[in-house]
Each structure stands twice: as C-alpha cells, then as structure tokens.
Structure 1
Amino acid sequence: MSQAFVKEEDSQWLHEIPPTLTALINYLSKENNGIRVYLKRQFLDSKGLEIFEMSNGLNYSKDNGQWQITN
C-alpha cells in the first residue's frame, strides 16, 4: 500500500480534548512545540465561570464540557 494515503498529522482541536486540566496542559504544551504550558491561576469571573489562566498568556474555560478560549 502506498504511503501517500497515510494521514500526515493527528492534530486535534481545542474543543475535542477531554475537559480536564491535565488534558488541557498536555494539548497546549504539544501545540507550543513541546514547551511546557502550566496553570498560572484559577479563578471565577463575575458570572461565576471558572477561568484557567495559563502561562501561554491565554485564559480558558469549559462550556458544556468543551474547552474554549475566554477573554
């Protein structure tokens, strides 16, 4: 069988990873060329949404069990 039909990469989207902090850290570190991304702080916003501030400069939250980038 030809190698031309082999999938080139197994990339995932942010919303496809499991809703755990460990999965988020692993995903972000992989997307950051293997440089470890870590949790800087965790807090609730004014609406009571749990926010995870990560070392890559972005904030993340979960919506219906899926990760998303928040402001």
Structure 2
Amino acid sequence: MTSKAGEIMDKLNDKKAEYEAIASTDSFVNLENIDNRIITEVLGPERYGRIRFQGSSVTLTQYFGSGS
C-alpha cells in the first residue's frame, strides 16, 4: 500500500468512527449506505467516465473494454 492510499484509508476509518460515535448518541442518524457517503466525503464526487480506485486516468473503455 502506498503512503497516499494509507492516508486515504486512515481518513475513511476516522470518518466511519465519527459517524458511529454520532449514531450512538443520536437515534435519528441513519447508518444505511454510510460507506458510500463516507467515500464521497473523503474522495469527492464521482467523475463521469472514470473508475474509482483505479487511478486518475483509467476510463471505462480501458477498464472494461469496448462494447462493440
């Protein structure tokens, strides 16, 4: 694992712990789909035509191949 990936994992784990701590004291906090929400908060929104966790320059066609 690279140092950047380690930093991202640390941020993801910190955010999850933060949400779980809030949920333990606030019954109105919904933890469904919390992982997706945390990933979006840490990494930012999805970018059209890109594959998350595959680097910044990998496109759908490069990853999955041509559909034709």
TM-score of the two chains, using structure 1 as the length reference? 0.25
Structure 1 or 2: larger helix share? 2
Which is higher, the Rg of structure 1 or of structure 2?
2
Larger RCO of the pair (alpha carbons < 8 Å, separation 6+): 1
Structure 1 or 2: larger strand share? 1
TM-score of the two chains, using structure 2 as the length reference? 0.26
